[in-house]
Structure 1
C-alpha cells in the first residue's frame, strides 16, 4: 500500500512540502528538511506503523452534513490534535491525515542523518512496539471523553447517531519512507508489507479495539496484555492467514 498523497492541513503545522503550501508535515521532519534538503529522501527502515480511524463518523457526516459542517470539522480537528500529541509524546512521526483518521510511524529514521539509518535498523522490535502501543493506549483512553463532548454539544434529536468508536491497527516491519516523485509532484510516501498489514488490522478492529500483528504482540508482550482476536484470518492482499491480537492495557510495572 502506498500513502503518497499529501495529507490535509493540520492543527500542528502548515509547512510547505512538495511544492504545495498548507500541507501538513510533522514538525520533526520540517526541522530536518530545514537542516538538510536530503533529509526526506526515500529510505528503507524497520518501523512500527499505526493506523487510526473513527468508525461511524462517516454516517454522522452524511446525516448532518448540511446543518452541522462546522461542528463536524471541529470534532475531527479535536481528534486529530489529540492524536498528533499522543504520537509526538511517544516520539513517533505523523505521516498523513486520512479524513477522520491518520497514519503514524514509530522508529523511522526519516529526517535523521543518513548515517543513523543503519543504527535505526538495528533497534529491537520491542523499542518500536512499545511507543506505538503506548500512543494507541493513550488515545484509546482519551477518545470516549471526546465522543461524550460531541454528543453533549450536538443537540441531535437522536443521540444514537453519535455512536462512534476508535479503531486502531499496528504492524512492524521494513518500510520505505520518504519523498517519492519529482519536483513539485513529489510527496511523502510510506510503502511496505507492514503498511498494508497495519491498515488491514485497523479495518478489522472493533470500535475501541487496538488490533495488532503477531510480531507486535511478540515484541510488546512484556509491557502490554494481549488476547487472540479470534482464529487466524485471511486479510486482503496479505499472503497467508494472520493471527491478530487485541492489545489491552499496559502492565502495571510497565507504566
Structure 2
C-alpha cells in the first residue's frame, strides 16, 4: 500500500490470508466474529480494462506498473471504507468489496432495506469512476513510454446483491475468507460485461438505487455464463445531488 494507507492485517490464527482492517478488528474482539454465515449484501467487482496490455508491453520493467496498481488499489480501498464497506480481496488490477454484510458484527444481521445495501455500493462505484480518469492521465504523463497510448485504460465495475455466504473457511494450517453465492457470480458477470468507464448492475440493485441514481437499460436482457435465465442489466448514470 502507498504511504499513509494502512495495509491489510493477517489472521491471528495462521498465515493463510489478509483481512480488511475492520474485519481484523472484529476478529481481535471475538474469535468467532468471522465464522461463515449467510448474510444479505451488495457485492462489487472492479477491474481495469487494458491493464493486461500494459503488463505485456512492460514485460520485466514492472516498477511503474506496480506503483500504479498500488495507487489505484489504495484509492479504491479508501472509497470502500468511506462508504462503510469492506474489501474482500484484491485481484491483480481489481478488487471485490462487500457492503452490508453482517460479518464481523452479527448484531447487524436481519432484514434491512435493499437501499441500505445498494446505495453505499453505488456511491463508492461513482466516486471511483469520477476519480479514475485523473489517475489514468497521471499514469500516461509519467509513463515515459515510447507509445503512451498503451497506458490508456478504463475502469469497469459490476454490482449485484442478495444472500451471500461470507466468512472464514478453515483449511488445515491455512485460513481463507469465503464469499460465495448467486450475487457474487452475478456481480462478476456484470463487471466482465461492462464497457470501460461503465458501472453495470443487476435489476435488484437498480430497484434499490432508484431515486438516488439514474439508470439506463444496458440493452435487452442477456444470457450470462452460469447464471440461470436472461438478466436485464442496467448502466448507472449520475448520482442525484443529495447522494454526493
Give your verdict on TM over 0.5. Answer: yes
Equivalent residues of 1:13, 1:25 under 8 A apart:
no
Counterparts of 1:131 and 1:149, CA distance in 2: 27
Q: 2:35 aligns with which of 41, 49, 52?
A: 41
SS for the counterpart of 2:10 is: coil
Deviation at 1:29, TM superposition (A): 0.5
Matched positions, count: 239
Counterparts of 1:155 and 1:253, CA distance in 2: 41
Equivalent residues of 2:222, 2:230 under 8 A apart:
yes
**Pair 1:94 & 2:87 matched:** yes
Query: Residue 14 and residue 49 in structure 1: after superposition, are their counterparts in 2 closer, same or farther (change >3 A)?
Result: closer
Q: Moved runs in structure 1, 4+ residues, more than 3 A? A: none
- Structure 1: state its 5+ residue gaps: 1-10
The TM-score with structure 1 as length reference comes to: 0.91
- Structure 2: state its 5+ residue gaps: none
SS for the counterpart of 1:215 is: helix
Over the residues paired in the alignment, what is the CA RMSD in angstroms? 1.3
SS for the counterpart of 1:81 is: helix
Query: Residue 132 and residue 14 in structure 1: after superposition, are their counterparts in 2 closer, same or farther (change >3 A)?
Result: closer
SS for the counterpart of 1:181 is: strand
**Pair 1:20 & 2:15 matched:** yes
Aligned to 1:5: none
Q: 1:56 aligns with which of 43, 50, 65?
A: 50
SS for the counterpart of 2:87 is: strand
Query: Residue 241 and residue 27 in structure 1: after superposition, are their counterparts in 2 closer, same or farther (change >3 A)?
Result: same
Counterparts of 2:8 and 2:44, CA distance in 1: 22
Aligned to 1:205: 194
The within-5 A match list for 1:1-255 is 12-17=6-11, 19-20=14-15, 23-67=17-61, 69-112=62-105, 114=106, 116=107, 119-255=108-244
Deviation at 1:185, TM superposition (A): 2.3
The TM-score with structure 2 as length reference comes to: 0.95
Deviations 1:19-50 (A, max 9, x none): 217x4311101110101110110011100000
Counterparts of 2:93 and 2:112, CA distance in 1: 31
Deviation at 1:252, TM superposition (A): 1.8
Counterparts of 2:20 and 2:8, CA distance in 1: 9
